[in-house]
């Protein structure tokens, strides 16, 4: 399984005045994907393989972001396993 997250933000205005929305990278905890639900679905399906993470957000320095993502994913996995 591959995990990453994005968020939608308002972008430029179109010629007609409407807003064009754009996705940007988001930290795993802050994006729109429900990571806990992903792990719940994997547990329900009996998946017990690897999970890889991709996080191009820049809200935290790389080392802190990597550690936080690992903690977050481990906690989501533990909750899904009950």
What are 33-61's pLDDT values in tens digits? 999 999 999 999 999 999 999 999 998 99
Q: What is the mean pLDDT of residues 18-47?
A: 94
Q: Whose CA is closest to 6, among 51, 60, 56, 73?
A: 56
What domain range is 18 assigned to?
2-81
Residue 77's pLDDT is: 95
Q: What is the mean pLDDT of residues 10-31?
A: 94
Residue 57's pLDDT is: 93
Please tell me the total count of domains within the chain: 1
State percent of the chain over pLDDT 90: 95
Residue 82's pLDDT is: 86
| Distances in whole angstroms, Cα of residue 39 to Cα of each of 6, 9, 32, 60, 78 | 17, 26, 15, 24, 9
pTM score, whole prediction: 0.83
DSSP strand pairing (19-25 vs 2-3): unpaired
Q: Is the pLDDT confidence value at 64 over 90?
A: yes
């Amino acid at each position: 399984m591959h995990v990453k997250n994005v968020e939608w933000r308002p972008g430029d205005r179109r010629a007609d005045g409407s807003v064009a929305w754009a996705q940007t990278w988001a930290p795993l905890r802050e994006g729109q994907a429900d990571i806990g639900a992903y792990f719940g679905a994997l547990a329900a399906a009996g998946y017990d393989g690897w999970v890889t993470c991709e996080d191009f957000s820049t809200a935290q320095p790389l080392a802190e972001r990597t550690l936080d993502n690992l903690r977050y994913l481990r906690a989501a996995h533990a909750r899904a396993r009950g």
